[in-house]
Amino acid sequence: MKFKLLILFFVLQAFFIVPTYAETINIIHTSDVHGNIDSEVRNASASNEQSINGGYALLKDLINKVKAEGDEKGELTLCLDSGDYFLGTPVVDQTSGECMIDLMSYCGYHAVTLGNHEFDYSSERLFRLFEESDIIPVCCNIFSKNKDTQPDPIKPYDIVSFKTIKIGITGLETPCAIATNFEQNLHDLEIKAPKECLLKTTQELRKLGCDYIILLSHLGIDDDRQLASTSPGIDLILGGHSHFAMPETEFDGPERIPVIHSGAYLKTASKVKIIIEKNKKPVLERELKTLSSHEFSEDPDTKKLVAKFMKREKATMGRSIGSSQVSLFRGVIGGDSPEGSYTTDAIREAVKADFAFLNAGSIRNPIKAGQLTLESLFLVFPFNNTIVVLEMTGEKIYELIEKTLSVKFRPQNEHDLFAGRTFGIEFQGLVRDYYDRYGYLVPSNLIYHFDPELPTGKRILKLTDLKGCPIDLKKTYRVAFSSFITAGGDGFDFLKNEKSAKDSGVLLRDALEKKLEREKEIKEIPEQRVFNEKLTVRELKKNAQ
């Protein structure tokens, strides 16, 4: 009798036990594509062997392989992006962003969040493109102005149900999108505090039964690390905005939340595998994939779609403008800018101003040694900003420079050093963040020395023109700016109501084109103009082709 009862006990126990299953999710993650839809061909220096690099056709091959393998094993595959797919190349500008949404749709992207450049063609244009696509735009901190509702088609989150689990996907936009865009492009929107919005969203997703929550963040790597340390409830941060290809996954905060940044310009992508089992800690594996023909083949149909978009660009943008014997880079934020000096000179010369300033963020791509085409200039100045001239006293110019210097400076970090190596320099000392209360201004016909450790508003040690003459504080000068700055961009609101402002109607890139056509060739790197007393910069290799 006891034996029969024992058998009955085990039978009943087996009947009432709920089996657990481990489900596998594969993710292909990209960010900061900035319109780089096409591949480029490179020659290896030693063997002269050609390789194809970057672009959606190679990415689609990666997606196809991961999905085919996943489907065979009963796994789910998701393609996700952390923003800034717009702006950067002529083809994006010619299609006002349409090429990016079409290509991501064709590649099978499930959800994306919004970067600050998604609004460059207006919120109305962006929302219309999403309404016509299958992509889900997730962002929990963008709202209609003065309302607690989000504008269609933006969603605070998406939930993917797969077999026995639910995956929540949400996103965050950087608050600096307001300062770094024209007011009319976001006039009907507001961006709320990321941390508070994320907490509310994750709590709601957990109540709805989500087993795993993914954050698509466009805040930048430092903010993502802070979120991982202070925001319980998220399981994975897929970040962007910093343009940083993290070679290894970071595990930050007390919960050891994985943080992944996948690089920029569609040169690299992350392949992430997550094994999720209820009541157990998820297992994550990740590879940073370089999109190269050494490992992948261009998907033929995607290549045709890219070629369709590129046809008009290649017809208009291949015209030669001049050449350069040297490569010019934007430089260190908080130090000198060789490329900024040359381009800002072009702005000043175009309108015959005494001085000129460009915000460093308006200079988007290096001027590389070799032949320069119309496309080269577009990549430097992809924004359709014009030159505006203000009349300013020497005293006002002095105050303006102090504002761009009177922000927080900090020791360089590994992201700074990564960027420096990319541009062939290394540096040590105090730098400032790309974004702060005020953008970083690059001057023309001015030289200034400053100490970032002095009190704010009193950091300039010396200010002269290029001839070494001190600036007359009482004299009125003609000063040229980008229309973005005089419209209040990058925090310079006080310039919005300047009565002396006169818009020349000349585009920044047109001014650069005229300078190159006039000079035929850039022969040398401009002299140093900004001297940060707490920063040293050293060239790693000869800055020439």
HEC assignment per residue over 104-126: HHHHCEEEECCCHHHHCCCHHHH
Q: What is the rounded CA–CA span in Å between residue 445 and residue 341? A: 9
| CB neighbour class for 332 (10 Å; exposed up to 12, middle 13-18, buried from 19) | buried
Are the C-beta atoms of residues 89 and 75 closer than 8 Å to each other? Answer: no
Q: What is the rounded CA–CA span in Å between residue 302 and residue 60? A: 7
Amino acid found at 315: A
Q: What is the rounded CA–CA span in Å between residue 249 and residue 271? A: 11
Provide CATH 3.60.21.10 ranges for the chain.
23-44+59-310
Output the pLDDT for position 4: 57
Q: What is the rounded CA–CA span in Å between residue 357 and residue 346? A: 11
In degrees rounded to 5, what are phi and psi of residue 81? -140, 145
Tell the CATH topology of 23-44+59-310. Purple Acid Phosphatase; chain A, domain 2 (3.60.21)
Say how far residue 36 (Cα) sits from the centre of its chain: 12
**Average pLDDT rounded to a whole number, residues 394-423:** 86
Of residues 186 and 1, which shows the higher confidence score?
A: 186
- Both structure tokens of 396: 């006002």
Q: pLDDT category, 94, cuts 50, 70, 90?
A: confident
pLDDT digits (tens, 9 = 90+) for 458-508: 999 999 999 999 999 999 999 999 999 998 889 999 998 888 999 888 889
Three state DSSP letters for 321-341: EEEECECECCCCCCCCCHHHH
Does residue 168 surpass a pLDDT of 50? yes
Does residue 358 surpass a pLDDT of 90? yes
Output the pLDDT for position 543: 45
Top-confidence range, 273-282, 348-357, 483-492, 507-516: 348-357
- Would you give the DSSP letter of residue 502? E
- Both structure tokens of 291: 């999109």
- Both structure tokens of 55: 């672009």
Quote the mean pLDDT of the chain.
Answer: 90
Give domain 318-539's CATH architecture: Alpha-Beta Complex (3.90)
Q: What is the rounded CA–CA span in Å between residue 184 and residue 505? A: 18
b/e sequence 212-250, b meaning 16+ C-beta within 10 Å: bbbbbbbbbbebbbbbbeebebbbbbbbbbbbbbbeebb
Structure-token match 């014997």, residue found? 325
The angle at the Cα of 25, spanning 21 to 30, to the nearest 5 degrees, equals 165
Are the C-beta atoms of residues 482 and 359 closer than 8 Å to each other? Answer: yes
Spatial CA neighbour of 343 closest among 442, 260, 426: 442
Q: What is the rounded CA–CA span in Å between residue 351 and residue 504? A: 7
Percent of the chain with pLDDT over 90: 72
Top-confidence range, 68-72, 118-122, 363-367: 68-72
CA distances from 292 to 61, 269, 296, 419 (A): 11, 11, 6, 21
Output the pLDDT for position 189: 92
CA distances from 117 to 126, 179, 181, 400 (A): 10, 11, 8, 26
**Average pLDDT rounded to a whole number, residues 447-458:** 96
Of residues 27 and 488, which shows the higher confidence score?
A: 27
b/e sequence 472-499, b meaning 16+ C-beta within 10 Å: eeeeebbbbbbbbbbbbbbbbeebeebe
Output the pLDDT for position 426: 83
Output the pLDDT for position 16: 47
Q: What is the rounded CA–CA span in Å between residue 256 and residue 242? A: 21
**Average pLDDT rounded to a whole number, residues 178-185:** 70
Output the pLDDT for position 18: 47
**Average pLDDT rounded to a whole number, residues 335-356:** 96
Amino acid found at 541: K
- Both structure tokens of 193: 């505090």
- Both structure tokens of 84: 């800034």
Output the pLDDT for position 544: 41
Q: pLDDT category, 409, cuts 50, 70, 90?
A: very high
Output the pLDDT for position 6: 52
Output the pLDDT for position 540: 65
Does residue 48 surpass a pLDDT of 80? no
Weakest-pLDDT range from 312-316, 362-366, 484-488: 312-316
What are the beta bridge partners of residue 125? Answer: none
What are the beta bridge partners of residue 476? Answer: 393
Provide CATH 3.90.780.10 ranges for the chain.
318-539
What are the beta bridge partners of residue 155? Answer: 138
Spatial CA neighbour of 122 closest among 187, 219, 33: 187
Does residue 260 surpass a pLDDT of 50? yes
pLDDT digits (tens, 9 = 90+) for 385-401: 899 999 999 999 999 99
**Average pLDDT rounded to a whole number, residues 508-516:** 93
Residue 138 CA neighbour count, 13 Å, CB half: 25
- Each as own residue / partner, the long-range contacts of residues 414-417 (CB below 8 Å, 24 or more positions apart, any chain) are 415/221, 415/242, 415/244, 416/332
The angle at the Cα of 215, spanning 210 to 218, to the nearest 5 degrees, equals 160
- Both structure tokens of 172: 């965050």
Whole-prediction pTM: 0.75
Amino acid found at 527: E
Of residues 314 and 28, which shows the higher confidence score?
A: 28
Q: What is the rounded CA–CA span in Å between residue 233 and residue 214? A: 10
**Average pLDDT rounded to a whole number, residues 353-360:** 96
Question: How far apart are the two ends of the chain, measured CA to CA in Å?
Answer: 91
